[in-house]
Amino acid sequence: MSTTHPNPPATSASGPADGVETFESLDPATGDVVGVHPVAGPEDVALAVERAREAAVWWSALSFEERAEHLLTWRSVITRRIAQRAALSRSETGKPTADAQLEIALAIDHVAWAAKHAKKVLGPKRVSPGLVMANQAASVEYKPLGVVGVIGPWNYPVFTPMGSIAYALAAGNTVVFKPSEYTPGVGVWLADTLTEVVGGIPVLQTVTGLGPTGAALCTSGVDKLAFTGSTATGKKVMAACAERLTPVIIEAGGKDSLIVDEDADLAKAAEAALWGGMANAGQTCIGTERVYVHEKVFDAFVSEITEQARGLRAGGDDAAKIGPITMPSQVDVIRGHVQDAVDRGATAVVGGPDAVGERFVQPTILTHVPEDSTAITEETFGPTLAVNPVRDMDEAVRLTNAGKYGLAGAVFSRKRGMEVARQIRSGMTSINGVITFAGVPGLPFGGVGDSGFGRIHGPDGLKEFTYAKAITRQRFSPPLTLTSFARTAKDEKGLATIVTLLHGGKKTLRG
Ligand code: NAD
């Protein structure tokens, strides 16, 4: 049986066996079939998890250095084949080849960082035992959980899941990855290349399929599930995982704003807003969707961004800097948001409702968009920007924080960048740049509110795929016997004296 999928990918080398249920992936720019993949059912998923559990015995027993060795080799293989991978990504998502290459370059950096830092972050560390337990040597280390399930989206088919995959692997877990049904080819490619590097051992496997395959992974008994996708699906994933008390990381949607202060470099701010809003056809979780500009520079900013948008266009040809909308159903969402805003008084200074075609959406910039319209409150995921004036930075922060999402954002200001950034309720903010934090592997990545919880990347991202193991080792007999029925009144008095000495005074942190 074959399920025709409304859109994307490419096949694994061998292709599905006869009689296996499959789904097609289509090139979003042309509608051409670019791949056929098997639909993994609950049994297939269970089998993959079982294989991953066996592989975890070997992988988790390796030293940090040995695992790093394998991961760094994988990193080199991906790097050498970057053109091959970028072409695959272009055919599955429609994104320009240069954008596909940028995405993979960032992902490669994360593999290297996770491999090189896992030991330092997760390895055993001494902890001061304190005065009462002075006879103990105390330490903490971070152990792998076992098998991690990763469910990914299609918009950044390598960079996004790699934030979980590389960090989970570096921490000593094995991984079963369910890529988006729009980009299964990229997922298969990733697993194939790592399997090649580790001599065929399934430390990373890909199970392809639609939503139900992801749902099967949630209830398969994996030790943690890292989900990246929409908030609506994230809620379903969390509910399914609750059945087996499987912990989850939810990396969900966003509605990020870029704030422009009166003293900002307007040309740079406009350039960043344009790229942050339109790159990858606006299909970026941490993309710019709203822009709040100080009223004193609003008109100048709008002129600047309108000028810079001239000549920018979406198309399927190699010269077009913006590709198609990958998921056909999103076109209606984008059209709805633009139409709603215009119907309610917004001005289209670039594009507008007519810019929304069947597969391509031309750049659209709206100004004076009502704060309760969907173009402000919901994730649009298209090459559109809603640009509104604000009285001051307090209003910009208030409007930015008014939404249900809290993923990332940006501030352009010469003097007050840090001050404003700290007030934004989101996981990540870049000052005088856009999305720059995503390229710093040592920084955590994740959101608050409807954008989800948990962190990938950096030390937090490594720890996310482990459990903390605390160990105390007695070095010599305790001066006071406290944890025994042989405890005497003298021991109890001794404890009272020590505690009073330690905590009975009036000293505070300030002395
Ligand atoms: P989606 O929620 O439609 O799908 C994501 C994945 O979940 C796919 O692999 C899909 O097959 C799977 N899935 C669907 N139903 C499922 C179910 N019931 N149980 C388990 N898995 C299921 O999202 P999408 O359209 O692929 O991706 C776009 C969304 O992802 C946007 O909202 C975007 O903001 C978000 N995103 C977030 C981040 C982040 O880091 N926060 C990064 C990239 C994308």
**pLDDT tens, residue by residue, 143-171:** 999 999 999 999 999 999 999 999 999 99
Q: Are 172 and 145 in contact (CB under 8 A)?
A: no
Q: Say yes or no: CB of residue 169 within 6 Å of ligand 1.
A: no
Q: Please say if 289 is a catalytic residue.
A: no
CA distance 115 to 6: 37
Pocket flag, ligand 1, residue 458 (CB < 6 Å): no
Give the Å distance between the CA of 126 and the centre of ligand 1. 40
- Structural tokens at position 398: 């208030």
Average pLDDT score over residue span 271-299: 98
Name the closest-CA residue to atom 39, ligand 1.
251
Q: What whole-number distance in Å separates Cα of residue 465 and Cα of residue 450? A: 22
Q: Which residues contact 204 (CB under 8 A, 6 or more apart)?
A: 165, 169, 174, 175, 177, 190, 191, 194, 195
Kindly indicate the confidence band of residue 15, based on its pLDDT and cuts at 50, 70 and 90: low
Q: Average of pLDDT values for 102-111? A: 94
Report how far apart, in Å, the C-alpha atoms of 109 and of each of 202, 229, 275 are: 23, 22, 22
419 is catalytic: no
Residues in the chain: 511
Whether residue 11 has pLDDT greater than 60: no
Long-range contacts of 369-375 (CB under 8 A, 24+ apart): 369/341, 370/341, 370/344, 370/345, 370/346, 371/399, 371/402, 373/337, 373/340, 373/341, 373/344, 373/346, 374/336, 374/337, 374/340, 374/341, 375/337, 375/338, 375/340, 375/341, 375/346
- With the most atoms of ligand 1 within 8 angstroms of its CB, the residue from 155, 159, 256 to mutate is 155
Instruction: Express the helix, strand and coil content of the chain in percent, nearest 5 each.
Output: 40, 20, 40
CA–centroid distance, residue 180 to ligand 1 (Å): 7
pLDDT surpassing 70 at residue 129: yes
Closest CA to 71 of 110, 109, 115, 121: 115
Active-site position among 92, 103, 251, 304: 251
Note the pLDDT of residue 13: 40
Q: What pLDDT is attached to residue 218?
A: 98
| % of residues, the chain, pLDDT over 70 | 96
Distance between Cα 330 and ligand 1 center (Å): 13
- How far does CA 340 lie from the centroid of its chain? 29
What pLDDT score was predicted for residue 7? 39
Q: Tell how strand 430-431 and strand 22-26 pair up.
A: unpaired
DSSP state of 132: T
pLDDT of 50-104, one tens digit each?
Answer: 999 999 999 999 999 999 999 999 999 999 999 988 998 899 999 999 999 999 9
Residue 201 dihedral angles phi and psi, to the nearest 5° = -80, 130
Answer yes or no: are the C-beta atoms of 405 and 447 closer than 8 Å. Answer: yes
Within 10 Å of residue 189's Cβ, how many Cβ atoms?
A: 25
Q: 215: Cβ below 6 Å to ligand 1?
A: yes
Which atom of ligand 1 approaches the CA of 233 most closely?
A: 2
CA dist 424 and 409 (Å) reads 8
Average model confidence (pLDDT) across the chain: 94
Q: What is the pLDDT of residue 231?
A: 97
3-state secondary structure at position 365:
strand
Looking at ligand 1, which atom is closest to the CA of residue 231?
A: 32
Parallel, antiparallel or unpaired: strands 33-38 and 22-26? antiparallel
Could you identify the residue written with the tokens 């030293």? Answer: 63
Residue 508's pLDDT band, with cuts at 50, 70 and 90, is confident
What is the atom index within ligand 1 of the atom nearest the CA of 234?
2
Give the full edge-to-edge strand order of the sheet including 204-206.
204-206, 174-178, 147-151, 224-228, 248-251, 452-453
How far apart CA 227 and CA 214 sit, in angstroms, is: 9
CA–CA separation, 22 vs 5, rounded Å? 10
Instruction: State in Å: Cα 312 to ligand 1 middle.
Output: 28
- Going by the DSSP 8-state scheme, the letter that residue 304 receives in this structure is H
Atom of ligand 1 nearest to the CA of 151: 9
Q: Bridge partners of 498?
A: none
